[in-house]
């Protein structure tokens, strides 16, 4: 099967093509490509000020420590 100007045998391993000049049996196994582990992004955090009451950036400065709170889930 021609690919990239070369006639031979090709296998897709992850995002990469590998060339072999002759057929290989059995096929390469196990697949050496291990996909990356995808994790959920961390929950968004909002910052609340109790005096004056409000959330950043609507309250730009807070004389007391900001209180981190979990953002509500998108609707």
Model confidence over 5-62: pLDDT tens digits?
777 777 777 777 777 777 666 665 666 677 888 888 877 899 999 999 999 999 999 9
Q: How far apart are CA 63 and CA 50, in angstroms?
A: 9
What φ, ψ does residue 10 adopt, rounded to 5°?
-125, 140
Q: Residue 20 belongs to what H/E stretch?
A: strand 16-20
Integer CA distances (angstroms), 69 to 13, 36, 44, 57, in order: 44, 30, 9, 14
Contact 3, 10 (CB under 8 A): yes
Looking at residue 28, its pLDDT comes to: 59
pLDDT attached to residue 27: 61
Residue 49: Cβ within 10 Å count: 19
Ranges of each domain in the chain: 1-32, 39-75
């Amino acid at each position: 099967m021609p690919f990239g100007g070369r006639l031979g045998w090709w296998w897709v391993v992850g995002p990469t093509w590998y060339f072999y000049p002759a057929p290989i049996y059995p096929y390469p196994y196990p697949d050496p490509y291990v996909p990356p582990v995808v994790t959920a992004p961390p929950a968004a955090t909002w910052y609340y000020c109790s005096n004056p009451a409000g959330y950043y950036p609507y309250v730009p400065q807070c004389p007391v420590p900001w209180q981190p709170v979990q953002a509500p889930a998108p609707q």
